[in-house]
Amino acid sequence: MVALDVGGTTVKAALYGPGHRPLYETRRPTGGPDGAVETVLGLAAELYATGTARFGRPPEAAGVCVPGIVDAPAGVAVYSANLGWRDLPLRRLLSERLHGIPVAIDHDMRTAGLAEARLGAAVGRSRFLFVALGTGIAGAIGIDGVIEPGANGGAGEIGHVVVRPGGAECGCGLYGCLETVASAVAVGRAWATASGDPEATAADAARAVAAGDPRALAVWQASVDALADGLLIAVRLLDPGTVVVGGGLGESGELLLGPLREALASRVTFQQMPDILPAALGDAAGCLGAGLLALDARPLPTSTEVPQP
């Protein structure tokens, strides 16, 4: 299986074999709006050729995850500001470059959620919400190992739930969205103000919290409270059994998850409190998920032999 995780600055790529074992991995700079399409197509072709040369037969399918708005059934990257893409028929272009093998594309967050569902923290969890706290905040809704896309491919956008009406302006045009308060960027910005260090980041804030700095504790608690308010909405609407927290801020582990559990538990009334777990796959989730997209897209075997996953 060919797998590509397309980011704004880097494309991660891999060949996966039986048992979803990585056979070959590489990465390339995305190349910006002018070169991103050819970077993706060229890297996919390189993986196809590598697989054919090393293992004696071509890859069976390819999976690609991309940021922005994605029409997965049509195979179209509808819009990505960072990549400069609009209505790009990515599946068709890739299939042509890869000699007609099946190609699946999807949104990067849904794909990462798929990886956590089948290979990571949500294995065996029938209903879960995956939340990534990074530059922004995005989510994915998992149901029995499948990610729910929504009617228009927009399910899981918890980062744009308004939790602080009248707060900071969000890139979406609203004010007080969750990601303006609880994303890694927002925490870094708040800590830079509180500490007087304009270069401070969320990682710096986490270290200061661990050291007991009262200013950092106040910044951290404000973020945790906002995140708990956003998750409470999700709990009431979706009733997930598990919330998996990933992204850069999620890597702070129990420093974040411990207070978050307490804050959410104090808000839950008649609902069942979900388990809150750290993501297991880190920044490999997108590429692993893209491999799973490929696995699902490959042709069904024609013999009675049961294939290896």
Instruction: Check pLDDT > 80 for residue 202.
Output: yes
Comparing 77 with 154, the larger pLDDT belongs to 77
pLDDT at 302: 57
Question: Which of the following CATH numbers is that of domain 123-280: 1.10.10.10, 3.30.420.40, 3.40.50.300, 3.30.70.20?
Answer: 3.30.420.40
pLDDT at 309: 47
Q: What is the 3-state secondary structure (H, E, C) of 121-183?
A: CCCCCCEEEEEEECCCEEEEEEECCEEECCCCCCCCCHHHCECCCCCCECCCCCECECHHHHC
Instruction: For the chain, give every residue range classified as CATH 3.30.420.40.
Output: 2-111+284-297, 123-280
Give the domain 2-111+284-297 fold: Nucleotidyltransferase; domain 5 (3.30.420)
Alpha-carbon span 61 to 182, nearest angstrom: 38
pLDDT at 305: 47
Query: What pTM was estimated for this model as a whole?
Result: 0.90
Amino acid identity, position 1 = M
- Could you tell me the sign of the dihedral formed by the alpha carbons of 126, 127, 133, 135, in that order? positive
Do the Cβ atoms of 183 and 159 come closer than 8 Å? yes
Instruction: Check pLDDT > 70 for residue 239.
Output: yes
pLDDT band of 246, cuts 50, 70, 90: very high
